[in-house]
Amino acid sequence: MVIGYKELSDELRRRIDSGEFGPGDKLPKITELMEEYGLARQTVRGAIGELADEGLVVAIRKAGTIVRHRTPVVIPLNRYRRAMAPGNAGGPWETATAAQGLDGSMQLVRVERVPADAELGELLNARGGPLVYRLRHAVIRPDDVVQIQHAWYPVDLAEAAGIATSDKVRGGVYRALAAAGFAPVSISETVTARTPTTEEAARLRIGGKVSVLMVERLTRGEGGRVLEVLRTVAPADRVKLSYDDLPLDPGS
């Protein structure tokens, strides 16, 4: 018997886990749940709030309470090498998701020239000059945004590689860089966790209490030049970063 918000949250969680309400489905309206279970509005709100804190649902203005997509996505380090393999037309995200039977795509949100702040200017050797900034969303079709990607490039490199415009980059940025004579040679990734900003939570459809992972990736070319600074934000309960089969130096 449902008598309080804890019991209601347990009941709604059960209905979600059973598949009665699937990813992308709307939960019944608050007034409908009040009538169905004979509970006060505040009790129903408390139950939904608990589910949102757990990352099961997200409240979207004018759309209602939506069940979140929670399909885990494994993101292996070898996605870069596989994306560069002959005959592969997809970028690293498409390559990683396709290997798991998921329909992934990279959606370009905008491209613009921005001033280089002190940190980016130092990394990309562009002190005082502009950078090409690309904002992308890594999506599981049709509309499940799993990652927000912020990427910066030196202007000369971006123009040579054809990534300074809003045109689709076929085969991914790495392939475009290599074709322009700026072949990626090595990458470094740093992973941290934090709470999402309000904008990130809305875009990723998560509650503010679901942590996000931020991965900063530096891509270097010949001579150690940094070709790209990429900062990716993703829900911590959705992505699995895999760094397996890394070589070890027996002499170290």
Whether 230 has a pLDDT exceeding 80, the answer reads yes
- More confident call, 149 vs 248: 149
- The predicted pLDDT at position 110 comes to 96
Q: What percent of the chain stands above pLDDT 70?
A: 98
Is pLDDT of 249 > 80? no
In the predicted model, is pLDDT for residue 228 greater than 80? yes
CATH T-level assignment (fold) for domain 73-242: Chorismate lyase (3.40.1410)
Q: What is the pLDDT of residue 73?
A: 94
- Residue 199: its pLDDT value, please? 94
Q: Do domains 5-67 and 73-242 have the same CATH topology?
A: no
**Cα gap 33→117, rounded to integer Å:** 50
> What CATH number labels 5-67?
1.10.10.10
Question: Which pLDDT band holds residue 251 (cuts at 50, 70, 90)?
Answer: low
Give domain limits for the chain. Answer: 5-67, 73-242
Task: Return the HEC string of 34-86.
Answer: HHHHCCCHHHHHHHHHHHHHHCCEEEECCCEEEECCCCCEEEECCHHHHHCCC
Both tokens assigned to 103: 């329909």
Average predicted confidence (pLDDT) for the chain:
91
**Does the pLDDT of residue 244 top 90, yes or no?**
no
pLDDT one-digit tens code per residue, 122-165: 999 988 789 999 999 999 998 899 999 999 999 999 999 999 99
Q: Is the pLDDT of residue 62 over 70?
A: yes
pLDDT tens per residue, range 68-114: 998 899 998 888 777 777 777 778 899 899 999 999 999 999 999 99
- Do 64 and 24 meet the contact criterion of CB atoms below 8 Å apart? no
